[in-house]
């Protein structure tokens, strides 16, 4: 597992990296918020261990930015003793768990395992694409945090496009994906669902492009890249 540790306390940072390297993880250690933000922009991490009190950007800002990116990095925040507001704020910003300093290394490892187990159950089903969030298992979608009201067919079309976001999906593929309850679905009705979805997705900046004779693909607008 590729782990990013963000900790400005040298002793703690070194101790954490040594411990996780011994557990066969690939570890990067940075000591300020700007480096962390940069590392998260350019590298592909499987886990983030994030101190809150940091020079440069604080841990809250690093986490806020991380949660705007498409790739979800499971995160444990490290907070100082008695900083209850920090825990609440960290969890509000999307931390998966927090640890109060001082903590034992085996405790950290146990928490990492718990977070990973929890995420494995949901990771496959949660997709974030620009401002659009989709929970495949629950068959629900949101723009920002507003739930989208979709009919079952519209949902089927959206699911099909989201699972192949950025790639071309033919009308026949969509028809096959949504017609299991209704064999012989006329592919032309897909255009109706696409047009309704376009209206509902408008606030998300996510667009459904169509290429005549090929099919459709989902694309997010440039200003939704972070």
- Rounded CA-CA distance 161/121 in Å is 22
Question: Closest CB to Ca ion belongs to which residue?
Answer: 53
User: What's the min distance (Å) between Cβ of 113 and Ca ion?
Assistant: 24
Question: Per CB under 5 A, does 96 bind Ca ion?
Answer: no
Q: Do 197 and 154 touch, CB atoms closer than 8 A? A: yes
Under rule CB under 5 A, residue 15 binds Ca ion: no
For the bound state, the minimum distance from the C-beta of residue 141 to Ca ion, rounded and expressed in Å, comes to 38
What is the closest distance, in whole angstroms, from the C-beta atom of residue 75 to Ca ion in the complex? 16
Q: Minimum distance between the CB of residue 138 and Ca ion, rounded to whole angstroms?
A: 37
Inter-residue contact 77 to 31 (CB < 8 Å)? no
Number of H helices, E strands in the chain: 8, 11
Contact range with Ca ion by CB under 5 A, out of 8-16, 114-122, 131-139, 164-172: 8-16
Comparison of 32 and 204: residue with beta carbon closer to Ca ion: 32
> In this structure, what is the dihedral angle of CA atoms 91, 96, 102, 108, given to the nearest 10 degrees?
170
Token pair belonging to 202: 């408008």
- Is residue 8 involved in binding Ca ion (CB under 5 A)? yes
Out of 25, 31, 46, 53, the residue judged to bind Ca ion by CB under 5 A? 53
Binding residues for Ca ion (CB under 5 A): 8, 51, 53
């Amino acid at each position: 597992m590729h782990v990013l540790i963000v900790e400005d306390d040298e002793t703690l940072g070194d101790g954490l990296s040594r411990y996780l390297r011994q557990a066969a993880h690939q570890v990067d250690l940075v000591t300020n918020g700007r480096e962390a933000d940069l590392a998260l922009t350019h590298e592909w991490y499987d886990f983030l261990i994030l101190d809150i009190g940091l020079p440069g950007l604080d841990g809250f800002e690093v986490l806020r930015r991380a949660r705007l990116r498409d790739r979800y990095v499971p995160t444990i925040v490290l907070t100082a003793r008695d900083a209850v507001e920090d825990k609440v704020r960290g969890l509000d910003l999307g931390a998966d768990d927090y640890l109060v300093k001082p903590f034992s290394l085996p405790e950290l490892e146990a928490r990492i395992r718990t977070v990973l187990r929890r995420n494995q159950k949901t990771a496959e089903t949660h997709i974030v694409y620009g401002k659009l969030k989709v929970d495949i298992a629950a068959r629900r979608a949101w723009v920002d945090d507003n739930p989208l009201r979709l009919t079952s067919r519209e949902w089927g079309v959206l699911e099909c496009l989201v699972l192949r976001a950025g790639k071309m999906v033919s009308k026949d593929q969509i028809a096959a994906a949504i017609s299991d309850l209704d064999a012989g679905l006329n592919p032309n009705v897909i255009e109706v669902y696409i047009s309704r979805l376009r209206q509902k997705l408008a606030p998300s900046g996510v667009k459904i492009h169509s290429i005549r004779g090929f099919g459709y693909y989902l694309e997010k607008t440039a200003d939704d890249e972070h």
